[in-house]
Amino acid sequence: MPVAAKPALKKPADTMSSQGIASKKASKGGKGKTPRGKDMDDMSEMGEVGDEWMQQKTMVKPDDQLELTEQELKEEFTRILTANNPHAPQNIVRFSFKEKVFKQVASVDQLAIHFSLDGNMLHKDSDEARRQMARGGLAEAPSEPTVAEGEEKAGEAAAEGGEGEAKPEGEGGEAEKEEGATQTAPAAKGGDTKKLTNQFNFSERASQTFNNPYRERGTQTEPPPRVNFSSTANQWEIYDAYVEDIQRQEKSKEKKGFRGQQESTSRKKISAIESQGDDISRIEKPAKILERMVNQNTYDDIAQDFKYWEDVSDEYREQEGTLLPLWKFSYEKSKRLAVTSLCWDPKYKDLLAVGHGSYDFLKQTRGLICLYSLKNPSFPEFIYNTETGVMCLDIHPAYPHLVAVGFYDGSVGVFNLTEKLQEPMYKCTAKGGKHTDPVWQVKWQKDDLDNNMNFFSIGGDGRVVSWTLVKNELLCTDVILLKLDESPADGGEGTQLFTLGCGTAFDFHKQTDYLFLVGTEEGKIHKCSKAYSSQFLDTFNAHNMAVQSVRWNTFHPKIFISCSADWTVKIWEHTSNMPLFTFDLGSSVGDVAWAPYSSTVFAAVTSDGKVHVFDLNVNKYEALCEQVVVTKKKTKLTHIEFNPNYPMIIVGDDRGYVTSLKLSPNLRKMPKEKKGVEAAKGPEVEIAKMDKLLSLVREPPPEKK
Amino acid sequence: MTEAAGEPKKEEAHDFRRLHSYPLIRHSDMNEEMRTEAMELCVTACEKFATNNETAARMVKESMDKKFGSSWHAVVGEGFGFEITHEVKNLLYMFFGGEKAIIVWKCS
């Protein structure tokens, strides 16, 4: 009730709230003192408080306040405070089993526990603590409890300065110990600075990666090569050596006049010195043989074909023949250059010379002369690099080491194969009358009256020039000028200017030496004689375009063949102006050649990559064989040559390759032998054969010259 | 006749020592630069120690060792026969002064 009264007092305004607070205080005090008689105290205190705080105060009484008289209000009650637990029972009786009677417990426990909490601190010196510190690595510290304790206590007690003291003291103290003295001090120090780890859920993990296992490796290099050497050194040896050396020097001095010989001696000296030590040159010859062996093994089947294979199907095909491809000669540096000329060596039957150059007027580069042997198709035996393109070459029939070469820049040269020079042995100079246009063909002639070698050349400037090898030089003589038919123009002052045609091919008659044919770019063929230098013996209007090649028949003295860029091949008799045979081959004909074994067989190559072989004895109108011999399309065939000894032909193309082909039996037919009659071979038979043919073709000559 | 022939012969006999005094390489398989260097070294050594072959050879051997690697051997003398094993491209056999023969080779 009094409690309810107080909140009722609070409800009124501020003035009343203070009274309320005051009354609360009063009531609390009253509560602590006595549970009873509160109201009286309240009222009295309230009255006093009210007087202190508020002056304009009217006493307000709660409705259910106890009405007491003043006397009763002033009554004093005495209370005594004791430390007794008010909740504790005042008497506790327990049954005593000893006396078998209920007894009152002497004193009742008055302790009242208001709050209890279990702590987790251990005393430092207790067992558990020691065990933990030992685990943490401070084994030594507690081992000397007396000293350490004191120190630690000192350390604990003091501040940082105290700690500093403890440490040296600790060190000093523990230095007395035998082992681990120094270890413990740092251990103690380390303990001070040890990482504070959470003892309950700290987990330290460590791992070790896999180390690759080791392996030992050793090697031994090869020692440098050694060689034995022995000799004797005494006075006569020395003397002899010096004498020899002096003699050699004197010889070399004598020979200074001849440039070539001096070079040879110096070269000999070099080679002598080199051969002593240089291993490669000593095995040059065996290496060559080995190379040939390897080639033969590699191309064994080709070699077998070359010797033995005959196309059996030829027996069933009367009028057809085939060409079997044999070796293909190429050299890496010649791959961009077209084959401009081919020549078989007259003496060494397996040697062939290939000249490389370029027919392209705009793209003129260097040239190359390669001599291949059939025994080694993979690499040339001789290589000569030239600055300008090689347009033609010819090997001397008597001296097979001399090669006459005509170049694109109009000069001619002679290479000597025995010399190891890269330069031609003889070369004509501009002063020496070289051609002003490319030299299209060169040909060796018989030695002249002075036993000097000479050769002829024909060039695009319209001159046929004869060159003679005199000592170290080439002397030139104009043989004939290819004048065009037009009337000479007036050059002023009465001189006459001639326009010269461009000569592209020539050939000398096999029997009559002075007679030769010249083919021109205008398509005419002139019959000339060495004796007459200003006039032609005869002219044939042969072709519409440039004459690529003109050749006398191998056996028949009157027949020659010509081929041209106008797609035709024509056979002529030099006494008549009309061709005997004309063949259209469908593409520009690069070259034509008579077979050396028959007067009626010839072969032509065209710029569509085909080789056409004709035998007039068998078929007068068509080729016996028309075969594409190149691997890549758009390769033009530029030259063809028959091998004088074997039944094969070589064909050069504008990619720089030379392909050799074997002729099938149908293409090399000899006249049939009659039983009982010896097989007549030789030129007469051939001539007769040809004559028979001609008589069929030719109109009966009406008293032609 | 014989006297006249004898005279020039005598002169020759005296002359040859003078004429033959230039260094002459009898046999060598060294490369060009090594050869010239070794030859010059030998000539220098022989001129310096004309009387003492041993010191000349020592000088040659030590210089070659320094320049071209270890284990060179040098023999300087006037009359000896030899049979040696040498590393390829490391041999020089020459005459000098009309009388001396020098052989230098490398073999480790």
ipTM: 0.83
User: Is beta strand A625-628 parallel, antiparallel or unpaired with respect to A637-642?
Assistant: unpaired
Identify whether B9 is part of a domain: no
Distance CA A602, CA B12 (A): 75
- What SS3 class is residue A35? coil
Selected for mutation to probe chain A from B53, B82, B94, B96 (highest A CB count within 10 Å) is B82
Identify whether B92 is part of a domain: yes
All residue ranges of chain A with pLDDT < 70 are: 1-57, 138-194, 257-279, 429-432, 484-498, 670-689, 696-705
More confident residue, A673 or B65: B65
The CA-atom distances, in angstroms, between A576 and each of A22, A304, A513, B35 are: 166, 46, 20, 76
Indicate the DSSP class of residue A644: S
Distance in Å, alpha carbon of B3 to nearest chain A alpha carbon: 23
Identify whether B11 is part of a domain: no
For residue A692, the surrounding DSSP H or E stretch is helix A683-697
Residue A261, pLDDT score:
57
With pLDDT > 90 as the criterion, what percentage of chain B qualifies?
A: 63
Residue of B28, B85, B100 with shortest CB distance to A227: B85
Q: What tokens were used for A515?
A: 């007679």
Residue A50, pLDDT score:
52
Chain B interface includes A241 (CB < 8 A): yes
Distance in Å, alpha carbon of B27 to nearest chain A alpha carbon: 8
Distance CA A391, CA A409 (A): 9
| Digit-coded pLDDT (tens) for A356-384 | 888 877 777 788 888 888 888 888 888 88
Q: What tokens were used for A186?
A: 């740092």
Distance CA B49, CA A222 (A): 38
Q: Which residues of A touch B20 (CB under 8 A)?
A: 238-239, 242-243, 246
- pTM for the model stands at 0.51
Indicate the DSSP class of residue A317: -
Residue with tokens 């009256």, as numbered in its chain: A449
Distance in Å, alpha carbon of A417 to nearest chain B alpha carbon: 30
Residue A403, pLDDT score:
87
Residue A181, pLDDT score:
42
CB A393 within 8 A of CB A442: yes
Distance in Å, alpha carbon of B84 to nearest chain A alpha carbon: 5
Three-state helix/strand/coil letters over A525-549: EEEEECCCCCCCCEEEECCCCCEEE
Distance in Å, alpha carbon of B104 to nearest chain A alpha carbon: 11
Q: Where are the alpha helices (DSSP H) in A419-489?
A: none
Chains A & B: contacts with CB separation below 8 Å: 84
Which residues have CB under 8 Å from A214's CB, separation 6+? none
Residue A269, pLDDT score:
57
Selected for mutation to probe chain A from B18, B72, B84, B93 (highest A CB count within 10 Å) is B84
Residue A258, pLDDT score:
62
To the question of domain A312-671+680-695 being in CATH 3.40.50.2300, the answer is: no
Q: Which residues of A touch B80 (CB under 8 A)?
A: 232-234
Q: Give chain B's domain count.
A: 1
Selected for mutation to probe chain B from A222, A229, A230 (highest B CB count within 10 Å) is A229
Identify whether B34 is part of a domain: yes
Q: Which residues of A touch B100 (CB under 8 A)?
A: 238
Selected for mutation to probe chain B from A221, A222, A227, A244 (highest B CB count within 10 Å) is A227
- What SS3 class is residue B62? helix
Chain B interface includes A277 (CB < 8 A): yes
Identify whether B98 is part of a domain: yes
Q: What is the DSSP string of A366-419?
A: -EEEEEEETTBTTS-SEEEEESS-EEEEEE-SS-TTEEEEEETTS-EEEEETTS
- We report the CATH number of the domain holding residue B27 as 3.30.740.10
Q: How wide is the angle at C-alpha A399 spanned by C-alphas A418 and A643, nearest 5°?
A: 105
Q: How many CA atoms lie within 13 A of A151 on its CB side?
A: 20
Distance in Å, alpha carbon of B53 to nearest chain A alpha carbon: 14
Q: Which residue of B has its CA nearest to A270?
A: B32
Amino acid letter, A67: E
Q: Which residue of B has its CA nearest to A272?
A: B27
Residue A343 burial (10 A CB sphere; 0-12, 13-18, 19+): buried
Test A276 with B93 for CB contact under 8 angstroms.
Answer: no
Chain B interface includes A233 (CB < 8 A): yes
Test A233 with B85 for CB contact under 8 angstroms.
Answer: no
Identify whether B6 is part of a domain: no
Average pLDDT over residues B19-48: 90
Range of the domain at B34: 23-106
Residue B34, pLDDT score:
92
Residue A485, pLDDT score:
57
